[in-house]
Amino acid sequence: MTHPIISYIRNQTNQKINYAEYMAKVLYDPQYGYYMKQKEKVGKKGDFITTSNIHSIFAKVFCSIFHEVITKNNLPFVICEIGGGTGRFSYDLLKEWKAKYPESYEALSYYLIEESPYHITMQKELLGEFNNVHYSPSIEHMNIDVFEGIVFSNELIDAFPVHVIEKQNNVIYEVFITVNDLEELMEVKAPLENKEIQMWIETYGPKLNNNQRIEIPLAMQQWIEKISRSLVKGAIFTIDYGYWNEEWQHPERGDGSLRGYYQHQMIDDPLLYPSDMDLTTHIQLDPFIKIGKEHGLETQLVATQDQFLLQAGILNYLQENYDPNPFSEISKQNRAIRSLITDGMSKAFHVIFQAKSLTVTESLSFLKAEKEADS
């Protein structure tokens, strides 16, 4: 049976589509998109795992951070998580908030923004005990007159559709996808004509070497603009893996970062297993911060995830009591903490904390302490 994406490409005037359109179709199409399918994607039976699914300690740390930001800045108790996946992070955070901050729990409203019908079902089943959880298909439909509070996402932006370009003999080409006579997906290149991509390169970079390929995340730019328009006052916490412009210059980045994840295996060819494979890219950190600033989002901190968790006090959760049972909750939590601060996976992620209309030095106590130590 012919895959729908092949039929879709065949029906195009030039019988080709760009990578952003390809990713939008195979990941998000309502009928056959990877994220729309009724199948497990996160965990042992899925294709990848996220840090929020390792242990509840991850959400416990962010619970304290969110509470501090909200109370110190007199924000409403509103948290909006975008792309909540299985709902594990929100579940762990709400349980911790209820236990640790009972005086404000009744005032807390937790919004989950999710497109995947499968994940929405999972979230509602897991979070059924909480009456302060609200579901929305987009941040614009949250039904809040004035949105002030916290926006949180974990491994969301890396799955946004991207364009792919390549520089050869000092000419920049855009990479497109077509279908050969054997009904197989294949790449073709054409000199770059897309004005938005040209403007991105001129404005945000990075400078490309010959034979270098890179992704252009126009959807990321649109997302930042949307968040800024929606959030009147508050904080944005973004967790994802990415590279700085300087790092994109390294020879090992020459092939770009677009990859697939299929049954926990990294797949170099993004055209394999369409609709059955997760596709992901490293975000461009310099443009992310610059675009945010252009739209009123002031970056307070960028740190690798392990550094951030250490600064935020994750070691305070270590319990030194000897426990001979390796399967006890104490042992599991201690192992999770060690994993989160030593594992290469955690070192690969960045935590970006941005603020809109907040008092910079009062947002987080450990940032204030760090600033005083540096002065």
Distance CA 278, CA 84 (A): 16
Instruction: Return the pLDDT at 189.
Output: 98
Residue 302, H or E segment: strand 298-304
Instruction: Return the pLDDT at 43.
Output: 58
Instruction: Return the pLDDT at 90.
Output: 96
Distance CA 8, CA 344 (A): 39
Instruction: Return the pLDDT at 292.
Output: 98
Strand 109-113 with 133-136, pairing: parallel
Six-digit token string for 51:
């840090």
Residue 309 lies in a domain: yes
Distance CA 206, CA 208 (A): 6
142 Cβ partners below 8 Å, 6+ apart? 80, 111, 113, 134, 136, 230
Model confidence over 331-342: pLDDT tens digits?
676 676 567 666
Residue 277 lies in a domain: yes
**pTM given for the model:** 0.90
Residues, the chain: 375
Instruction: Return the pLDDT at 192.
Output: 98
148 Cβ partners below 8 Å, 6+ apart? 75, 76, 78, 231, 232, 233, 234
Residue 272 belongs to domain with CATH number:
3.40.50.12710
Is cis: bond before 274, omega within 30 of 0? no
Structural domain range at position 369: 44-160+217-374
Instruction: Return the pLDDT at 247.
Output: 94
Distance CA 245, CA 287 (A): 9
Strand 231-243 with 283-284, pairing: parallel
Contact 17, 176 (CB under 8 A): yes
Instruction: Return the pLDDT at 38.
Output: 79
Residue 205 lies in a domain: no
Q: Cα–chain-centroid distance for residue 32?
A: 22
Inter-CA distances, 43 with 84, 86, 239, 343, Å: 14, 9, 18, 17
Distance CA 131, CA 140 (A): 21
Contact 111, 79 (CB under 8 A): yes
Nearest alpha carbon to residue 227 among 291, 282, 180, 167: 291
Please spell the DSSP secondary structure of 114-162, one letter per residue: ---HHHHHHHHHHTTT-SSEEEESSGGGS--SSEEEEEEEES-GGGS--
N-term to C-term CA, the chain = 66
Six-digit token string for 159:
């799955």
Residue 29 lies in a domain: no
List per-block mean pLDDT (blocks of 10 residues) for the chain, which spans 375 residues. 93 97 96 86 59 74 95 95 93 97 97 92 95 93 90 96 97 98 96 98 93 97 96 96 94 94 91 95 97 96 91 75 61 67 75 88 60 50
Instruction: Return the pLDDT at 1.
Output: 73
* Number of domains making up the chain: 1
94 Cβ partners below 8 Å, 6+ apart? 108, 110, 127, 130, 132, 133
DSSP single-letter state for residue 209: P
Residue 97, H or E segment: helix 88-100
Instruction: Return the pLDDT at 375.
Output: 44
Residue 179 lies in a domain: no
**Beta strands, E only, the chain:** 16-18, 78-82, 109-113, 133-136, 147-154, 163-168, 171-179, 185-191, 212-216, 231-243, 259-262, 265-267, 278-280, 283-284, 298-304, 349-356
Residue 192 lies in a domain: no
Distance CA 205, CA 226 (A): 22
Residue 201 lies in a domain: no
Residue 331 lies in a domain: yes
Instruction: Return the pLDDT at 332.
Output: 72
